A and B are shown apart, each in its own frame.
Chain A
Amino acid sequence: MTLPTSPKDIIARRVAQEIKFGMLVNLGIGLPSLVANHLPLDAGVFFQAENGVIGLGAPPPEGMEDENLTDAGGGFVSAVPGAASIDSAMSFGIIRGGHLDMTVLGGLQVDAMGRLANWMVPGKLIPGMGGAMDLVTGARRVIVAMQHSAKGKSKVVAECDLPLTSTRPVDLIVTELAVFTPTADGLVLRELAPGTTVDDVTRNTEAGFIVAGDIGVMNLASWSS
């Protein structure tokens, strides 16, 4: 078995380990959507697209697209056996109501308090929050899957200077260098990517973080229940 080497695949493979049999999971567009590639078809996981499907499947072969079946980013998808199509009020009821086991979202910044900013850069980039604010507020578990830095700047910051998505701390931060857990005392370093040292992480991280106890190596093996 080959281990992933690209930053995005390392992140996606590691996040996939957090997903357990029977879960309902919402993956954000972009990097988080790659997580599905690291789960076997028989993982017993249902994916939600917040526009209104539970049981999202892989993109269909060319020519088999249904113009009425897309994910939240507008890409053509399929629906797995057992899928349900729902309207957006029901879909966000499921999210806010605590029925969604996990969401995996991309980030522009995460800070030492575990707060995520991922919906706008004032004056430059204004995509809007879409479903992200509801997802961070309502999902039982929130995982941020993002590259550690952008344009040489750490995305794990002392305090977000971009507009917050929610004040609720996320539950886990996974980058290609490290895995952090936000706590009341600050970020705790839990795992390092293979070949990465604590010094590497320190050098590339604006936020302070706590190094205590055993620090594991990221499990990048194939998913198993």
Chain B
Amino acid sequence: MGVGTPNRIIDALVARGAKDLEIIANDTAVPDVGIGKLIAANAVRRVVASHIGLNPQTQEMMMSGEIEVELVPQGTLVEQIRAAGVGLGGFLTPTGLGTSVAEGKEIVTVGDQDYLLEQAIWAEFALISAKNCDYVGNLEYSLTAHNFNPVMALAGKTVIAEPEHILPVGAIPPDSVKTPGILVDHILERASK
């Protein structure tokens, strides 16, 4: 857990005593790893995630009312973020029909199939983890550390990337760039271990 998480930025948020954050992420990692550090530091007011199963602290704080948690199916969550990033108001998905996820949501019928109308979700900041970044901000990702990163890079008003390495322009082949540099506002190289 915590794969593809910008850990240096998270450490900095904890160090400066950030409060009342609303976090959109697939999960809250495990206690004291990645987003788990923000949970442990009481920095979070609200979480939108698909699962919190590996972080008992998030579950306890949810049940005691210290943190508000909205659980969203993983495919729906990533698509809500993608929709925001590509200029769509939302999308129609069969996932969640007839379950508690559908409560309060509009059902739209296309042909003979029902779908839930799910709305796009934006964030003020997209905090992105990447493998490599060049000086114009082009990002290259590694293996399963892609996860939500290339999608979130489109859906934050301010995009801060934390690559493992910052490389000269030209070092990342155009075919390997998954997030074009024009989307990235700030770059912070990961601290060496």
**Chain A residues within CB distance 8 Å of chain B:** 49-53, 66-71, 73-74, 79, 85-89, 92, 95-96, 119-120, 123, 125-134, 137-138, 163-167
Contacts and interface: CB of A to CB of B under 8 A. Distances in A.
B113 to A, nearest CB: 11
A87 B150 contact: yes
Nearest to A50: B74
B74 A79 contact: no
A119 B79 CA distance: 20
Given A87-B150, A128-B52, 12 more contacts: A53-B143, A66-B142, A68-B145, A87-B151, A88-B26, A126-B52, A129-B73, A129-B101, A133-B99, A137-B94, A166-B97, A166-B98
B46 interface: no
B50 A52 contact: no
A100 to B, nearest CB: 11
Contacts of B100: 163-164
Given A96-B75, A128-B50, A128-B71, A137 B144 contact: no
A108 to B, nearest CB: 12
B95 A88 contact: no
Given A66-B143, A68-B144, A167-B97, A92 B4 contact: no
Which secondary structure dominates chain A's binding surface?
loop
Given A69-B143, A127-B53, A128-B49, A133 B150 contact: no
A127 B82 contact: no
Contact of A126 (B26, B63, B79, B82): B63
B143 A79 contact: yes
Given A88-B74, A89-B82, A167 B4 contact: no
Question: Which 5 pairs, one residue from A and one from B, show the smallest C-beta to C-beta distance?
Answer: A127-B53, A92-B75, A128-B51, A167-B98, A134-B75
B169 interface: no
Interface residues of B, number: 48
Interface in B60-86: 62-63, 69, 71, 73-76, 78-79, 82
B1 A134 contact: no
Interface centre among B54, B75, B99 (most CB of A within 10 A): B75
Contacts of A89: 78-79, 82, 150-151
B8 interface: no
B30 A165 contact: no
Contact of A87 (B1, B52, B146): B146
A93 to B, nearest CB: 8
B5 to A, nearest CB: 11
Contacts of B76: 133-134
Contacts of A71: 144
Contacts of B71: 119-120, 126, 128-129
Contacts of B30: 74
11 contacts: A67-B3, A68-B4, A68-B142, A69-B143, A87-B149, A88-B151, A119-B71, A126-B71, A127-B53, A134-B95, A165-B99
Contacts of B119: none
Contacts of A127: 51-54, 59
Contacts of A68: 3-4, 131, 142-145
A86 B4 CA distance: 13
A164 B99 contact: yes
B144 A70 contact: yes
A167 B99 contact: yes
A165 to B, nearest CB: 7
A157 B148 CA distance: 37
B79 A92 contact: yes
Nearest to B179: A87
A179 B9 CA distance: 50
A126 B2 contact: no
B89 interface: no
A51 B26 CA distance: 9
A161 to B, nearest CB: 13
